Amino acid sequence: MPYLFTSESVSEGHPDKVADQISDAILDEYLRQDPTAKVACETLVTTDFALVAGEIKSTAHVDAEPIIRETIRRIGYDKPEYLFNAETCEVMNRLHEQSPDINQGVERAKDEDQGAGDQGMMFGYASHETANYMPLALDLSHRLLQELAAIRREGRDMTYLRPDAKSQVTIRYSDDHRPEAIDTIVISTQHDEFDASENVMLDQIKADVLSILIPRVKAGLSADAQGLFTDQIIYHINPTGKFVIGGPHGDSGLTGRKIIVDTYGGKGAHGGGAFSGKDSSKVDRSAAYAARHIAKNLVAAGVADQVLVQVAYAIGVAQPVGVFVTTYGTTKAKGSTGATLTDGEIAEKVNKLFDLRPYAIVQRFGLQNPIFGQTAAYGHMGRQPGTVQTTMKDGSVKTFETFTWEKLDYVPQIKTEFAL
């Protein structure tokens, strides 16, 4: 019997995502000045107020206030009527020195012996149902809001748009777990005041979503994905009605409160640790990236159609305490006897191929570089690897790779190891 699965996303103007972006902007500034900085930065935003707090160990000297204001301005909160304004909001800085008790568990005489910055378990997931190996419902939810933000910035259509927005997509799957159609799309977008009545306003927003937003999203999809958009889709557009008050004025925002949006939209699993504002010594972030890299490369190499990888650590210990893999019964790889490999056998090969010590992860993905600002909205996974140019402390301009954990650079090694 067909079944439904749903994922959501939130825009860069959502209050929790504003907080995430501020935390990662501060992290990037510390790394720009000091690649070895240890940073744990949390942000709270509410009506015309932003607070940053956390623990830092660094030789860098960072003035947080202009970074906070520029981040808020870039997102689009730059008008007094939003009641959260980059120019006027109060800023409070409560960053302080990191506890030496934590640091002694991380730093070692040899860099490669660096211990994990905390205990915990991290998960990575990949599926063959999209080109970027992400769950389809989440991928579409992200795309809807990325396109909505692009429309807002262009300023030609839907000129009433404000930065805060949420989306949700429900996919109908067949018995054999293949996407059949989009069942429901939910879009809630903040907007300016309308001169017209609320019913006229809602009709205008819905008409624009259907005639402007949806065609632009479909244009960027494969033919198969476009075919999922049928006339039977149920649309809920601003279903609560008027949405003028939004952003941090409408609801307070906190770093790390959208961890499912940041990862896999409820598919696979999540260890519970947030990402933004944390340097790569915190395995909550770096090991989650490594687990995604493993899962994505396994699926791309043809080991299985769907893979979940778990890595777990003890604080201060370099080697993971365990590596777990499940393919949900979709394994294609076979052993020397011709029998399908078990998940345990796949995990053993993963341990052989991938160095999962924190130092090795940091080096493999360049995680001491100031590359995290781009991760803090629209998901940390499934993004296109690229580059970013940054002016360093000495005035030099350097180019760094972004989303390095999304590379398919281990596919040849995996194919060799699994005889594919």
- Residue indicated by tokens 């365990």: 322
Tell me the CB-side half-sphere exposure of residue 40, using CA atoms within 13 A: 16
State yes or no: 166 annotated in a binding site: yes
- Are 168 and 8 in contact, with CB atoms under 8 Å apart? yes
Q: How far apart are CA 171 and CA 149, in angstroms?
A: 23
State yes or no: 16 annotated in a binding site: yes
Residues 6+ apart with CB under 8 A from 199: none
State yes or no: 177 annotated in a binding site: no
State yes or no: 274 annotated in a binding site: yes
State yes or no: 243 annotated in a binding site: yes
Beta bridge partners of 307: 126
State yes or no: 101 annotated in a binding site: no
- Are 43 and 65 in contact, with CB atoms under 8 Å apart? no
State yes or no: 398 annotated in a binding site: no
- Are 1 and 30 in contact, with CB atoms under 8 Å apart? no
State yes or no: 98 annotated in a binding site: yes
- Residue indicated by tokens 């130092």: 359
Distance of alpha carbon 198 from its chain centroid, rounded?
34
- Are 139 and 130 in contact, with CB atoms under 8 Å apart? yes
State yes or no: 14 annotated in a binding site: yes
State yes or no: 42 annotated in a binding site: yes
Q: How far apart are CA 350 and CA 380, in angstroms?
A: 22
State yes or no: 278 annotated in a binding site: yes
- Are 116 and 314 in contact, with CB atoms under 8 Å apart? yes
State yes or no: 406 annotated in a binding site: no
State yes or no: 242 annotated in a binding site: yes
Q: How far apart are CA 157 and CA 151, in angstroms?
A: 6
- Beta strands (DSSP E) in 1-87 are 3-10, 38-46, 49-57
Residue 359's SS3 state is helix
State yes or no: 157 annotated in a binding site: no
Say how many Å lie between the first and final Cα of the chain, rounded: 33
Binding-site positions for Mg(2+): 16
Binding-site positions for L-methionine: 55, 98, 251, 282
Binding-site positions: 14, 16, 42, 55, 98, 164-166, 242-243, 251, 257-258, 274, 278, 282
Binding-site positions for K(+): 42
Binding-site positions for ATP: 14, 164-166, 242-243, 251, 257-258, 274, 278
